[in-house]
Structure 1
Amino acid sequence: MAISIVTIRLWVLALALTYVSVLYSYLGKADEAVPQTGGEGYDPVQIVSNALLCFNDKYIYSSCEESYRLSQSGNLNVPPQNTDEYCTGPCLTETNLVLKCIDNIFANFEFYNKATIEDVGDTIQAACGNGPERGNFDVSQHIQAEESNGHKAINQILYGLAFMIVGHGLLP
């Protein structure tokens, strides 16, 4: 009977150590799944400034009426009655070029309204589509809440500590 208890305690300890080892290997890798654009040595302020220049590039926005253009705040001020004009004219193409320009410079760009490049793209796709959101260029309705993974790391640490305490309690 004593051998059985010691064996169980050792298995629990081995499991706790394995869990902590796996947990440790994932700490500090929060941004590895995010594609990075740019290179080392670039000034972050300069990168953002270059991304903002996409809005004023006369080679990109040349034919779209200024009131329909995507703003730095992340808004598209296209009235519902002008949806066809926007979606079939040069504005759609030029706005997509601006989004691509920003994405090529700074993939994680966030507009002043907290919208991402993807949020604006989703808004345009829905507003120009044939679904119930056609003509609705309100970007704020398409902003996806970015979920932080910080709580997951803290939970893993707490579970690891709990396993260590339980494992220690089971040792002779």
Structure 2
Amino acid sequence: MAATLASSKSKSFVVFLLITVASFSALADNGPAQILTNALLCFNNKFIYNRCNEAYRLNQSGDLNVPPEATDQFCNGACLSETQGLLNCLDNIFSNFMFYNKATIGDIRGTLRGGCSYTNQRGNFNVGDYMQSETSNSLMLHKPNELQALVLISGCLLLLFL
């Protein structure tokens, strides 16, 4: 009987280890470094940015360096649609992406709307003028919560098999 109990405990421990290792592997595949790498690939995707003047392209810093005299060219040409394509690419990979200047995808979209509008904001592509006043938590990944849930579930499974 003691041998059966010990065998049952060792099997439970092996199951616990397998679940834990598999879960950590799944978390590692979509970890912060991988998400950031995929997001940065959007900036170098030749299918997204291929006709827009390189000087006017949105960069990782979150800057749109479009001079007021180039507004019509930017807004009526390929640059606007290609920049929106870049934002869609980023949003599909990591919806809470934050640029180096702390601008969010929404802030950049607001900048595009304002800079290309026919209001007194037309030609103003200064992202800082359009940023929301609250500081965003966009860079914070919620992996610790998932890890805590994993540990809790694994612990419960371990207790069930003991």
The two structures have a TM-score, normalised by structure 2, of: 0.65
Which residue of 91, 102, 123 maps to 1:114?
Answer: 102
The structure number with the bigger radius of gyration is 1
Which residue of 120, 132, 135 maps to 2:120?
Answer: 132
Matched, 1:89 2:81: no
1:62 aligned residue: 50
Task: State the distance in 2 between where 1:147 and 1:81 align.
Answer: 32
Task: State the distance in 1 between where 2:133 and 2:40 align.
Answer: 23
Task: State the distance in 2 between where 1:148 and 1:100 align.
Answer: 19
1:143 aligned residue: 131
Structure-to-structure mapping, 1:10-29, within 5 angstroms:
none
Task: State the distance in 1 between where 2:37 and 2:69 align.
Answer: 34
Give the letter for the 1:114 counterpart: K
Task: State the distance in 2 between where 1:99 and 1:147 align.
Answer: 20
- Measure how far apart 1:145 and its partner are: 2.5
- Ranked by relative contact order (alpha carbons within 8 Å, sequence separation 6 or more), the top structure is 1
Matched, 1:49 2:44: no
Give the letter for the 2:107 counterpart: D
| Cα deviation 1:86-141 (Å, max 9, x = unaligned) | 00000000000000000000000000000000000000000000011000000011
Task: State the distance in 2 between where 1:113 and 1:148 align.
Answer: 12
Unmatched tracts of structure 2, length 5 or more: 1-25, 138-162
2:63 aligned residue: 75
Q: Any runs of at least 4 consecutive aligned residues in structure 1 with deviations exceeding 4 A, and if so which?
A: none
Residue-pair matches, total: 111
Task: State the distance in 2 between where 1:46 and 1:92 align.
Answer: 28
| Cα deviation 1:6-62 (Å, max 9, x = unaligned) | xxxxxxxxxxxxxxxxxxxxxxxxxxxxxxxxx855111110111011111001000
- Measure how far apart 1:146 and its partner are: 2.7
Structure 2 SS opposite 1:145: coil
- Measure how far apart 1:147 and its partner are: 5.4
Identity of aligned residues (%): 55
- Measure how far apart 1:148 and its partner are: 7.5
The two structures have a TM-score, normalised by structure 1, of: 0.62
Structure 1 SS opposite 2:65: coil
Structure 2 SS opposite 1:134: coil
Query: What CA RMSD, in Å, does the superposition of the two structures yield over aligned residues?
Result: 1.7
